[in-house]
Amino acid sequence: MKRETKHTGVFTRRALFLMGAQVAVFGGLAAQLYKVQVVDGGRYATLADENRISARLIAPPRGRVLDRFGTVLGGNRINWRALLVAEQTTDVTGTLESFSRIVPLAEHEKARIEREVHRHRRFIPIMLREFLSWEDMARIEVNAPDLPGVLVDVGTSRVYPFKGEFAHLVGYVAPPNEADVASDSMLALPGIRVGRAGIEKFHDVTLRGRAGAVQLEVNAVGRVIRELDRQEGTQGRDIGLTLDAGLQQAVGKRLGDESASAVVLDCRNGEVMAMVSNPSFDPSLFNSGVSQQQWVEWTRNRRAPLISKAAAGLYAPGSTFKMCTALAGLNARTITPGDRISCPGYLDLGDTRFHCWSKTGHGALDLRGALKHSCDVYFYEVARRTGIDRIAAMGHRLGMGVDPTIDLPGARAGLIPTRAWRRGQGKAWNIGDAIVSGIGQGYIQLSPLQLATYTARIASGRAVEPHMTRSIGGVLQPGTKPEDWPSLDMPERDLHLVREGMWQVVNEAGGTAPIARLGEGRGQMAGKTGSSQVRRVSRELRERGGFKSENLPWEYRPHALFVGYAPYDAPRYAVAVVVEHGNAGAATAGPVARDIMMETLRRDPANRTEPQGARVADKG
């Protein structure tokens, strides 16, 4: 009995020991399970999701650019692209080599990708290739196991349905450079574009929007199984312009193949209805990259298609400037409405003779007659009496030769010289400089946009400023009402005298531009012709009588200009036309301005709410 008790006791102790060991082991396992499932459950769930889910930021859709009736001038289209997420591959160089065997990459593209990988955080996708074809996408998907970190994504690409017809105004976008990315990290996202010209540049931040995010479920080799969630971010706001797409096209068609520009403004509030520079270019080429051959072709073209002639082209205004000289003289009281000045065909000053365009002269003329016949001698004398500083001050008051306020990058201020300006060049001002300035020659340089603004101010009596932004995100902006703009604070009598002279230019027998008369039922247009020399005509050549500008090489011929507004009795629209090297303003620019004004009055875009006849050649 004692032996049995002894064995039983030993067994019992062993059993207890084993049970204790088992409890300890299972207790430890339970504790570890509790830690894994409860205490660290969230962290492990996140790690599991990170192995299963690929998350990345996506570029927001860029806001659209619209005309005043909602016609799309700059929009978006689907763009398939290949991206690289560096943190999802251990060998970026090897991945690039594998990708390049499927979709060839040039050496400069590989270098660019390597730079971006080292410059950006590793979770930010890097663009490998845009504008993929279906065949390219299929090859990438089939070879996904050999392309760790590479994925196919859909984004948007900028498209300009009207191509070159709005290029100088809407502008274009291009990939951001290193300086851009340094200023805004969102610009590192693939597919982001930055406005480089025109409205795209001026409203770039508004058009960009805010970045979104997408979550994708992937398998062990990185192949995308499905999209779990997508937040598109905040799309950029639409920009509504004052332009009428149909009128813009009609103006461009009327200019034809001429190297020329034309501007149509609403006299009452300065809204730009149309602004055309010819020739133009296709802005969509900057989105995908301009070839060296195309760039050379543009830069070697003597008609300068990349320059916005309407806003950045500067020309001597010629006789279109004579209204400014007249108003300066009236304001300074160096002339009166009834003063008559005799024109024998020239004005002598010392040993220098300043010629009138009429060799036989015009006889004695008052202000209205001088404008009607565009007498040079009359305005030589007014400029001599008034002085350049007073003429410049009036020009600035009328919107010329001052820094532009228009929402269009690249618009130039032009120049109306002063004595101080001349001293700044280390030279003295002389009376001869003032005399030629009276007829818009000499140092004066203005853009067609400034000439249109000047004409609108004379017509309305208000200090309207040209502008193109009508709404942002659908919200109408200030400046659409006449009362938004202050009065010029000039005597109505002075403005009325100048307007009458402009009316006589077009509508009265003997005026210099009867060809610019509007058709029946279109009201009457008041206007002024101009021809500006681009090279000096020697006295010897003039006296020989052998000078004919049409016989000169194209680049030496005078520019042809015309400014006007209509209807005369209730001014609504102002127009300015410059035909480069077009010779006579009356014969060349006058008919163009007439046809543009007739089309503008027919469409009357400022008083319509629906588009009329905008033709989209290619929606891309």
Q: What is the pLDDT of residue 42?
A: 60
- Domain end, chosen from 241, 268, 292, is at 241
CATH number at residue 333: 3.40.710.10
Q: Buried (b) or exposed (e) across 454-468, using 16+ Cβ within 10 A?
A: bbbbbbbbbbbbbbb
Q: Which of 156-160, 346-350, 399-403 has the least mean pLDDT?
A: 156-160
Question: How many residues are listed for the chain in this entry?
Answer: 620
Q: What is the pLDDT of residue 277?
A: 97
> Alpha-carbon distance 506 to 514, whole Å?
5
Q: What's the number of domains the chain is made of?
A: 2
Who wins on pLDDT, 598 or 232?
Answer: 598
Task: State whether 392 and 488 are in the same domain.
Answer: yes
| DSSP states along 590-612 | HHHHHHHHHHHHHH-GGG-SS--
Report whether pLDDT(428) > 70: yes
Q: What is the pLDDT of residue 299?
A: 86
Instruction: Give tens-digit pLDDT for 92-139.
Output: 888 888 888 888 888 878 888 888 888 777 777 888 888 888 888 888
Instruction: Give tens-digit pLDDT for 321-344.
Output: 999 999 999 999 999 998 999 999
| DSSP states along 87-155 | GG-S-HHHHHHHHHHHS---HHHHHHHHHHHHHS-TTS-EEEESS--HHHHHHHHHTGGG-TTEEEEEE
User: pLDDT-based confidence at 19, cuts 50/70/90?
Assistant: confident
Task: State whether 234 and 281 are in the same domain.
Answer: no
Task: State whether 226 and 331 are in the same domain.
Answer: no
Who wins on pLDDT, 256 or 556?
Answer: 256
9 SS3 class: helix
42 sits in which H/E element: helix 41-52
Task: State whether 206 and 298 are in the same domain.
Answer: no
Report whether pLDDT(203) > 80: yes
Query: Does some domain include residue 26?
Result: no
User: pLDDT-based confidence at 620, cuts 50/70/90?
Assistant: very low
Is-contact 236 60, C-beta < 8 A? yes
User: Which ranges in 461-521 belong to alpha helices (H)?
Assistant: 492-507
Task: State whether 226 and 249 are in the same domain.
Answer: no
How is residue 271 annotated by DSSP?
Answer: B
Structure tokens at 61: 């859709």
- Domain end, chosen from 202, 220, 241, is at 241
Specify the pTM: 0.81
Amino acid at 401: G
* 460-471 mean pLDDT: 97
Q: What is the pLDDT of residue 45?
A: 58
User: pLDDT-based confidence at 616, cuts 50/70/90?
Assistant: low
Instruction: Give tens-digit pLDDT for 580-607.
Output: 998 877 789 999 999 999 999 999 999 9
> Alpha-carbon distance 133 to 118, whole Å?
28
User: pLDDT-based confidence at 252, cuts 50/70/90?
Assistant: very high
Residue bearing tokens 């290619």: 618
Q: How far is CA 388 from CA 20, 394, 422, 453, in A?
A: 111, 10, 11, 21
User: pLDDT-based confidence at 70, cuts 50/70/90?
Assistant: very high
Query: Does some domain include residue 19?
Result: no
Rank 173-182, 189-198, 315-324 by mean pLDDT and report only the highest.
315-324
Query: What's 282-295 look like in SS3?
Result: CCCHHHHCCCHHHH
> Alpha-carbon distance 362 to 119, whole Å?
73
Query: Does some domain include residue 405?
Result: yes
* Upper half-sphere CA count for residue 37 (Cβ side, 13 Å): 6
Q: Which parts of 390-496 are beta strand (E)?
A: 469-472, 475-476
Q: What is the pLDDT of residue 48?
A: 53
Name, in order, each residue with C-beta under 8 angstroms of 220's C-beta and a sequence gap of 6 or more.
none
User: pLDDT-based confidence at 549, cuts 50/70/90?
Assistant: low
Rank 3-12, 35-44, 165-174 by mean pLDDT and report only the highest.
165-174
Query: Does some domain include residue 40?
Result: no
Who wins on pLDDT, 137 or 22?
Answer: 137
How is residue 536 annotated by DSSP?
Answer: P
CATH number at residue 75: 3.90.1310.10
User: Which ranges in 387-476 belong to alpha helices (H)?
Assistant: 388-397, 419-424, 431-437, 448-460
Structure tokens at 259: 């190297």
Of the candidates 291, 278, 270, 584, the one whose C-alpha atom is nearest the C-alpha of residue 450 is 270
Four-point Cα dihedral 511, 512, 518, 523, nearest 10:
-40
Query: Does some domain include residue 480?
Result: yes
Q: What is the pLDDT of residue 39?
A: 62
Query: Does some domain include residue 283?
Result: yes
Task: State whether 349 and 490 are in the same domain.
Answer: yes
Report whether pLDDT(7) > 80: no
> Alpha-carbon distance 580 to 560, whole Å?
6
* 230-248 mean pLDDT: 90
Of the candidates 461, 521, 457, 451, the one whose C-alpha atom is nearest the C-alpha of residue 491 is 461
Name, in order, each residue with C-beta under 8 angstroms of 212's C-beta and a sequence gap of 6 or more.
57, 58, 59, 60, 230, 231, 232, 233, 234
Of the candidates 82, 277, 107, the one whose C-alpha atom is nearest the C-alpha of residue 190 is 82
381 backbone φψ class: left, alpha, beta (φ>0; ψ -120 to 50): alpha
Is-contact 284 73, C-beta < 8 A? no
Q: What domain range is 110 assigned to?
A: 54-241
Q: What angle do CA 145, 151, 155 make, to 5 degrees?
A: 160
Is-contact 564 516, C-beta < 8 A? yes
Q: What is the pLDDT of residue 556?
A: 84
Task: State whether 316 and 256 are in the same domain.
Answer: yes
Task: State whether 144 and 274 are in the same domain.
Answer: no
Rank 98-107, 174-183, 608-617 by mean pLDDT and report only the highest.
98-107
Report whether pLDDT(3) > 60: no
How is residue 162 annotated by DSSP?
Answer: T
- Domain end, chosen from 186, 218, 241, is at 241
Task: State whether 264 and 183 are in the same domain.
Answer: no
User: pLDDT-based confidence at 454, cuts 50/70/90?
Assistant: very high
User: pLDDT-based confidence at 10, cuts 50/70/90?
Assistant: low
> Alpha-carbon distance 174 to 158, whole Å?
9
Q: What is the pLDDT of residue 367?
A: 96
Report whether pLDDT(292) > 50: yes
78 sits in which H/E element: strand 72-84
> Alpha-carbon distance 572 to 568, whole Å?
9
Mean pLDDT of the chain, nearest integer? 86
Structure tokens at 397: 């008051």
Query: Does some domain include residue 334?
Result: yes
Q: What is the pLDDT of residue 542?
A: 47
Task: State whether 236 and 168 are in the same domain.
Answer: yes
User: pLDDT-based confidence at 618, cuts 50/70/90?
Assistant: very low
User: Which ranges in 425-491 belong to alpha helices (H)?
Assistant: 431-437, 448-460
Report whether pLDDT(224) > 60: no
> Alpha-carbon distance 560 to 534, whole Å?
11
Task: State whether 496 and 410 are in the same domain.
Answer: yes
Is-contact 530 318, C-beta < 8 A? yes
Query: Does some domain include residue 28?
Result: no
> Alpha-carbon distance 375 to 358, whole Å?
8
Task: State whether 293 and 178 are in the same domain.
Answer: no
User: pLDDT-based confidence at 11, cuts 50/70/90?
Assistant: low
